[in-house]
Amino acid sequence: MSLFMPQEALRTGEKAEVRFRFIKHPEYLKVGAKMLFREGVTKGIGHVTKLQPVAQYKPSQREEDGA
């Protein structure tokens, strides 16, 4: 899973809109669904606000550069 967010870090209690890209295999999601993720010691919870089909996905220049 790749995670793209507008700021470098979030602290406990802060909120942000982020974009996920599932790397190994797609996941079944629907708008409004609750989402929980964990990567190492990092954890997050939220809900799905928008979906973008894989066929329509075009990485931004920032994503291509690995930022």
CB 4 within 8 A of CB 17: no
Domain count of the chain? 1
19 pLDDT more than 70: yes
pLDDT, average across residues 18-44 = 83
- pLDDT the model gives residue 43: 83
- Location of structure tokens 């990567």: 39
Residue bearing the bigger pLDDT, 19 or 30: 30
pTM of the predicted model, to two decimals? 0.58
The parent domain of residue 37 ranges over: 2-64
Distance between CA atoms of residues 52 and 67, nearest Å: 20
- pLDDT the model gives residue 57: 59
Confidence band, pLDDT 50/70/90 cuts, at residue 34: very high
